[in-house]
Structure 1
Amino acid sequence: MRFLYAFLCLCITSFSFAQDNLKYYLPANISYNSSIPKPESVIRHQVGEWHITHDKLVQYMYAIANASDRVTIQDRGETFEGKPLVLLTITSKDNHNRLDVIKANHSKNTNSDNFKSDQPIVVYQGFSIHGNEASGSNATLVLAYHLAAAQGNEIDALLKNTVILLDPSFNPDGLQRFAYWANTNRSINLNPDPNDREYSEVWPGGRTNHYWFDMNRDWLPVQLPESRVRIKTFHEWKPNILTDHHEMGTNATFFFQPGIPSRTHPLTPQLNQRLTADIGKYHAKALDKIGSLYYTEESFDDFYYGKGSTFPDINGGIGILFEQASSRGHIQESSNGILTFPFTIRNQFIAALSTLEAAQGMREEILRYQHDFYKKARQEASAEQQNAIVFGDPKDAARTYHLAEILDRHGITFHELKSDISIKGKDYKKGYSYVVPKNQRNTRLINAMFEKRTKFQDSLFYDVSAWTFPLAFNLNYDETISTSIAGDKVEDLKKKTGSVLSKSSYAYLMEWHEYYSPKALNTILEKGLRAKVAMKPFNVDGRDYDYGTILIPIQNQKLDKDQLYDFLTTVATGSAINIYGVTTGLTQGIDLGSNQFRALSTPKVGLLVGNGVRSYDAGEIWHLFDTRYNMKLSKLDVGRINRMDLSRYNVIIAPSSGGFNGGVVKALKSWTEKGGTLVGFRSTINWLKAKKFINLELKTSDRVAKDITYEQRGNYSGAQVIGGAIFEVEQDRSHPINFGYTNSKIPMFRNNTMFMKADKQSYNNPLRYSKNPLLSGYISKPNLDSLAETVPYKSKRLKGGKVVVFTDNTNFRAFWYGTNKLLMNAIFFRNQL
């Protein structure tokens, strides 16, 4: 048996690479233009022999574009690591000569009541948004070659009737990281043993981008550079079909949509799912032909509009998810036999071709679907002719701006607020608020972004069940106001500028409300300047100042008063905040020399990373510090932490994790007891509790399944998961953890079932879930009852230091701007907690 097994592996290896392996992938009986370079002539290996690196992938795509009049290539931007984000446009030569006309006519199909069927269909094909799901990007080598070089009436008809937008790598940084891993661990004699190092990436793996984000959750928030270029392309073209090529577990087969019918978002038309199923018949036929197993209408859903396969569904297109069983390297044992990398590539390529076949075969029907989608949307919008949404924060222009920025990226029209108003007890200030008319083409997308939903057909979700944007940004908003409050249409969105409003010889004051105030304070402290925080409100020179106001005195600074003014002017401009000079320390309330102004020190922050840490959570924190607040953050690998000098840090953040070994416990406890502040998130709380870093009580569930069959057990358990919903939390604004917030309640995102009991002393519960906390999303009744009046935050002393814990992710997916300041408050005001 061992000999037979070895012989089979040798045959697979030899078959894959000992010949022109393009024949393994390409359709039979098609001739190819010899002037078009084959992949191996450029990348110096055959497709599937090695994992393609992003630099070689781009090199080949440029070679194809240079050699073929069917292909043009566009460099649309770059990743955090500077890798190009390229897009190929593939269509007939004649179509290329009038591409602007085709794009304009395609756009008219979404804006006019008149339907024209005599135009090409637009198909956006995107690959490997998860970098370690690499068969997709590797398949683009074959796909690009085939579309550029294939000859005959069939390809001519396809290219005449189709504009193909080929995005060969949604995630260049992750693809490069994974290719390095797979290739550096590849043996000459391919080994399918799943225990081999090749199939177990080191932390954080290649799935994510540079800052460890899952970019397939960013289509709607659009916070990352890779997302921004593809969303710009999407809205320029409004593709009829968008495909998103992924991988799944090694023991699976191949999945294509539609997914589970009951888990489709209610705003998605039913016809969308029927057309998806009709397209699926083309995939089935193609996979049947090569003998590949597959399934559909299971596992995956079409609910969250922030995924590549679902985002098109709210934009008049049809999104299709492909999931291929992954070899996770070059060859691996599976329950379906030996799974080779070339096999996975071939399935992705075949699905890409069947998509194009479906697009051509169903062209008029799909074009009409998109036309009718927008026609009906305009009718819905017209019924709300005078209705609009207003959102903003009278104390924070930056958070308001960043939500408007997302609307702008999605082509949504909005206006300035005509004048200051108050609606239902909420204030809206001109320059700090925007008005969104509902009567516009993208009205359905607006509804998807702003809706609050608490009723659902199904209780299971593949991803989050709520993402209401004004709640994520913690902004005041109202969906029932008139367009009469709208001022000028915003044509060129610009950030509010900051300044020092008056020069002082006594002191400067900076309120803590603005989103970028932590960036400003950190810059001030890093300069070696003295700053204090106000523990109580006060009034000076006729202006009210809230909890958390920052005081920068003139005396005993390393800069003289003129230098200080110049420096603070630079700080205010760079952080888009206002700083006020005052002439006296005598106030109404606490005077500026009061002990209620507490001295602040520069944060020296470490972030635990490495095995056991949830990389998504760690990456969100790294991204927040590095790209938003310009704060230095040391990433501390837990495998080395007991050999580090931790005295360099006064704050260490422990993202969500399953806990760490004894050496980490000893090092962190010793450091904390000597005066450090340890900030723990989510599941790390269990470890901190077990290792006696902090004493707290957690609620436990005593649910018992009754009348649940064996077949139903998965659905029952799944219904108890909080996949991602939004809840109301009551705030004690006098507590330093809440400095900078202006309302008595805040929306918080939660996707776990950790319920922390409140302290008996009410003043120790500055954040507390309300009695009826659900604002948007799904939660089971038992979990909702358990959550009510629990707390998401605690802070307790550990000898000379502090342990601060949050049950919830305050930095979720980079777009949850509304709770970022909770973490910043824990860092800057750590000695006041």
Structure 2
Amino acid sequence: MKKLLLFFFLFTISLSAQEVDLSYYLPKNTTYNQNIPTPKSVIGHEVGEWHITHDKLVEYMKVLASSSDRISIENRGTTYENRPLLLLTITSPENHKNLENIRQKHLDATDDAAVDISKNPIVVYQGFSIHGNEPSGSNAALAVAYYLAAAENIDELLNNTVILFDPSFNPDGLQRFAYWANTNKNKNINPDPNDREYAEVWPGGRTNHYQFDMNRDWLPVQLPESKARIASFHKWLPNILTDHHEMGSNSSFFFQPGIPSRTNPLTPQMNQDLTKEIATYHAKALDKIGSLYYSEESFDDFYYGKGSTFPDINGSIGILFEQASSRGHAQETENGILTFPFTIRNQFTAALSTLEAAKNMRVKVLQYQQDFYKESKNSGEKKAIVFGDEKDAAKSFLLAEVLKRHQIKIHEVASDFTENGKKFKKGYSYVVPMNQKNQRLVKAMFDVRTKFKDSLFYDVSAWTFNHAFGVDYVENIPLSKAGNEITDLKMKVGKVSSKSDYGYLMPWNEYYTPKALNAILQKELRAKVAMKNFKNRGNDYDYGTIFIPVQNQKLNADELHRFLEEVAIESNVKITGVTTGLNDGIDLGSGNFKVITKPKVAMLVGDGIAGNDSGEIWHLFDQRFDMTLTRLDMSYFRRIDISKYTHIVIPSSNISSSAIDKLKTWVQNGGVLIGYKNTAKWLASNKMISLNFESSKIDEIKNVSFEDRSLQSGAQYIGGAIFEATVDRSHPINFGYKNEKLALFRNSTMFITADKKSYNNPIQYTSNPLLSGYISKENSKLIKNTVPFKAQRLGKGRVIVFTDNTNFRAFWFGTNKLLMNTIFFGDMM
């Protein structure tokens, strides 16, 4: 081992002092087609000499596709920054001539166990650098693509394999990081970890444009990059999918399986057995080049929203690769100087060992996939699930849309019905039969689990979709409740019921009502919100109903009607024209209709602010509700005038107290400050809000060994679970919610004591709140009856805090309205 480490050290030192050429990566004793251009001939530098920018990566892939009859290329869409989402299909020229038939026969084998798979090509999806600042994957893609296009001794591999090649899972992040690494590169490579090259600025290149970790979006499918790759996945149903990542610089190289006890119970054991057999190919290949590696000691296969785990619930085998990162061009590590070319070579080697395994294990892996779907079809499931919200068609539609992206069959309800006290209306609800091909995936999406073999998770321990979307849900309903299958899913169209000369009412229940209200207020129109329930001409209206009077507006009656029709259609909401202000309950001229002020919202970003959390809020405002959000960077926050903002949001943060006086004065003058997670403690410690916290305790576990000491402390964290709270629907924070209970996501151990006055606890965890996921025994005691939300007056303004993220990963639609309620009704809390 010492000799190997010395070899590694000396070898990487030499690499840092000189260029490497393509031969450093490529297998020896292989000849190459001279008509296939090398990466350097197109991008202008050797692989690993500079960090590849996405535009150059695209250019090379296009040149390869035009130069080789082994490669075809498609653009499946664009990122938020308008970069192409490329996919190369790489196989033999003969297979290319018959590609659609090959694909169809491959899919037929998953539908019919009698199909002979023995001569079918195996399908391998290879994807690189879903985290943009883990760039060795996409840089290795240059060399891998060249090898597959130009190597002259790989006919057997290409004849028996269809390779779906995704050179950059995250174009925007890759471009951001390449810019940083290249602009900070020294002529004389400096491996000192303190050099600026290895400390990219906030928010870094890991994420996409809106700062999402896209390796958590394989199951929710909310981002354009995810939509493209999931469509490709289901179009082909690959047998193996590889996901090339990086980890800490002092590590070596990891390949799956992960820790066995952290595998999701819904994953078949044969999946893990095959993963382990494939791992022997990686070990052999890395042994050959003298690289250190490990397996089964970290990472897991639990959350199906990751690229290496999502395939496991779809009859495929997902494989994670983690390479120690140079985070630039070369960096000092515990194992010597780690160079960028060295990291690329390991990724290249693992890509080829995957293909070697696929070629040799072809029939075995094809048979596993066929058996997976055969067992799914013969599971005996004769029932269905139903979900919906009788007052919110959009939110129900958005969940149905996710199911359709995964090619899950859904039906409309045959007719309205009530089950378990919940009403499921046609057009607002969907039935999912369980006697279908993808029923295992359905189970995974709606899985409820509170007991686990292991108490440590690399990611969340729960993601139950009905809770995440905040819809009513019932299992085991008869198939007779299902109406026609929905093949063309469409959002319910918004409308205005009729023109009015008196006023219009817009219930606050629909998901996109904040978008509609914002459009109304930005038009300088007056709107009010109902603080109580009422009836108008026999129609029930709930807390939070928006009233838009006709008189004394900047638009006349006809103009107002036309404008509201546009708003209703654009926001998919129903607006009702009324002829009288006389109600059963509060009348439309009552003081219980409060004037809504047009908001001007800002958010603190930059150093000390959680990048994912702030990005999710930015995405919610910008993409979902078309609301302008001004992002104020901490680097200049103290120098600017903030008096023009009505609301300031501070995501989870760890910032200095230098900003506190400025914020306190702003709130006292009437501002609404909204803080998330750690910000709540920061605001409390600086006397801007009075909060009492319960101290998190560690489970008492006897006889813990030195070896297992980290497992004890790690088991106390809430990695991501779902909890139930009661809600006071009369409080403005809960406007738009129809049920008395609400499912909340949390991944913190911050517990706020409830107020003695019950009306100050509008959202409060129940005495047995765990709905799904892991929480330690001691924390499960602490969370009971605590509160995840607090609002207090400070001068003329308000300070509002949440213990956890209400906008988690863009698929927690069920609690997005809580933030919107603080924006439009915060000054009423």
Please give the alpha-carbon distance, in whole angstroms, between the structure 2 residues aligned to 1:80 and 1:439: 37
Q: What pairs with 1:281-300 in structure 2 (closer than 5 Å)?
A: 281-300=280-299
In structure 2, give the amino acid aligned to 1:679.
Answer: I
Of the structure 1 ranges 447-456 and 731-740, higher mean CA displacement relative to structure 2 is found in 447-456
In structure 1, distance between residues paired with 2:467 and 2:552: 43
CA contact (8 A) 2:386 2:474 kept: yes
Q: Write the mapping of 1:640-789 to structure 2, written as runs, cut at 5 A.
A: 640-658=636-654, 660-703=655-698, 706-789=702-785
Among candidates 542, 547, 555, match of residue 546 of structure 1: 542
Deviation by residue 1:358-403 (Cα, 9 ceiling, x = unmatched): 00010000000000000001111xx122x00000000000000000
Residue 113 of structure 1 is matched in structure 2 by: 113
CA distance in 2, matches of 1:322, 1:668: 45
Q: Report the residue type matching 2:175 in the other structure.
A: Q
Deviation for aligned residue 1:14: 4.1
Equivalent residues in 2 for 1:359-374 (5 A)?
A: 359-374=358-373
Q: Which amino acid aligns with 1:273?
A: Q
3-state SS of the aligned residue for 2:547?
strand
Q: Using the alignment, how far apart are the partners of 1:271 and 1:665 within structure 2?
A: 56
CA distance in 2, matches of 1:240, 1:74: 21
Whole-angstrom CA distance in 1 between matches of 2:820 and 2:262: 37
Matches within 5 A, 1:152-551: 152=153, 155-380=154-379, 383-385=380-382, 387-551=383-547
Question: Which residue is 1:125 aligned to?
Answer: 126
Does the 8 Å contact 2:17/2:189 carry over to 1? no
User: In the alignment, does 2:572 pair up with 1:576?
Assistant: yes
Aligned to 1:104: 104
Give, in whole Å, the separation in 2 of the partners of 1:669 and 1:186: 43
**Corresponding residue of 2:95:** 95
1:85 aligns with 2:98: no
Which residue type is aligned with residue 299 of structure 1? S
State the SS of the aligned residue for 2:19.
helix
Query: What do residues 187-236 of structure 1 show as CA deviations (whole Å, max 9, x unaligned)?
Result: 11000000000000100000000000000000000000000000000000
Give the residue type in structure 2 aligned to 1:321: L
Residue in 2 that maps onto 1:61: 61
Counterpart in 1 of 2:135?
134
Counterpart Cα distance in 2 of 1:436 and 1:147: 42
Q: Distance in 2 between matches of 1:302 and 1:552?
A: 51
* Larger deviation, residues 452-461 vs 748-757: 452-461
- Maintained 8 Å contact 2:9/2:337: no
- Separation in 2 of the partners of 1:13 and 1:465? 42
**Alpha-carbon separation, structure 1, partners of 2:146 and 2:420:** 60
User: How far is 1:9 from its partner?
Assistant: 7.8
Question: Aligned equivalents of 2:10 and 2:534: distance in 1?
Answer: 82
**AA of the residue aligned to 2:656:** N
Counterpart of 1:11 (choices 14, 29, 32) is: 14
CA distance in 1, matches of 2:241, 2:33: 28
Classify the secondary structure of the residue corresponding to 1:648.
Answer: coil
1:720 to partner: Cα distance: 0.7
Q: Give, in angstroms, the shift of residue 702 of structure 1.
A: 4.1
Question: Deviation digits for residues 575-602 of structure 1, max 9, x if unmatched?
Answer: 0001001111111000100000000011
Q: Is the 8 A contact 2:9 2:335 kept in 1?
A: no
Deviations 1:686-722 (A, max 9, x none): 1111111111100003435543222221111111111
Match of 1:143 in 2: 144
- Partner SS state of residue 55, structure 1: helix
- Residue 646 of structure 1 aligns to a residue whose secondary structure is coil
Structure 1 pair 540/752, CA: closer, same or farther in 2 (3 Å)?
A: same
Shift of 1:798: 1.3
Does the CA-based 8 Å contact 1:16-1:342 persist in structure 2?
no
User: Is contact 2:672-2:797 (8 Å) kept?
Assistant: yes
Is the contact between residue 125 and residue 241 of structure 2 (CA under 8 Å) also seen in structure 1?
yes
Q: Answer with 289-298 or 670-679: which moved more.
A: 670-679
Answer with 229-238 or 109-118: which moved more. 109-118
On the 8 A contact 2:301/2:309 being kept in 1, the answer is yes
AA at the equivalent of 2:365: I
Percent identical: 64
Shift in Å at residue 168 of structure 1? 0.1
Q: Are the counterparts in 2 of residues 641 and 667 from structure 1 also a CA contact under 8 Å?
A: no
1:663 shift after superposition: 2.7
Deviations 1:739-782 (A, max 9, x none): 00000001000111000000010000000000000111111111
Question: Structure 2: how far apart are the matches of 1:566 and 1:51?
Answer: 53
What letter corresponds to residue 690 of structure 1 in structure 2?
A: S
Query: What secondary structure sits across from 1:797 in the alignment?
Result: strand
* Equivalent residues of 1:650, 1:677 under 8 A apart: yes
Task: Give the superposition deviation at 1:16.
Answer: 2.9
Work out the CA distance in 1 between the residues paired with 2:704 and 2:14.
Answer: 49
2:711 is paired with a residue whose SS is: helix
CA 1:6–1:160 in structure 2 vs 1: closer, same or farther (change >3 Å)? closer
Matching of residue 631 in structure 1 with residue 627 in structure 2: yes
Query: Counterparts of 2:112 and 2:559 in 1: how far apart (Å)?
Result: 60
Q: Which amino acid aligns with 1:332?
A: Q
Structure 1 Cα separation of the partners of residues 374 and 658 of structure 2: 64
**Cα offset for 1:8?**
8.3
Aligned equivalents of 1:662 and 1:709: distance in 2? 41
Structure 2 residues not aligned, in runs of 5+: 1-7
Letter in 1 for 2:695: T
Aligned alpha-carbon RMSD (Å): 1.2
Deviation track 1:784-822 (CA, whole Å, cap 9, x = no partner) reads 110010000000111121100000110000000000000
TM-superposed CA distance for 1:639, in Å, is: 1.7
Offset from partner CA, 1:229-261 (integer Å, 9 cap, x none) = 000000000000000000000000000000000
Task: Map Cα deviations across residues 303-331 of structure 1 (whole Å, 9 max, x no partner).
Answer: 00000000000000000000000000000
1:210 counterpart letter in structure 2: H
Q: Deviation digits for residues 574-629 of structure 1, max 9, x if unmatched?
A: 00001001111111000100000000011100011000000000000000000000
Alpha-carbon distance in 2 for matches of 1:687, 1:638: 15
Paired with 2:222 and 2:15, the residues of 1 have a C-alpha distance of 43
Mapped partners of 2:623, 2:410: distance in 1: 27
Which residues of 2 match residues 577-616 of structure 1 at below 5 A? 577-616=573-612
Q: Which residue identity does 1:16 align to in structure 2?
A: E
Q: TM-score, normalised by structure 1?
A: 0.98
Distance in 2 of aligned mates of 1:207 and 1:321: 17
* 1:435-457: CA deviation from partner (whole Å, max 9, x where unpaired): 00000000100000112111111
| Cα distance between partner residues in 2 of 1:180 and 1:635 | 22
Q: Supply the AA of the counterpart residue of 2:368.
A: Y
- The 3-state SS of whatever aligns with 2:643 is helix
Aligned residues: 820
Does 1:46 find its partner at 2:42? no
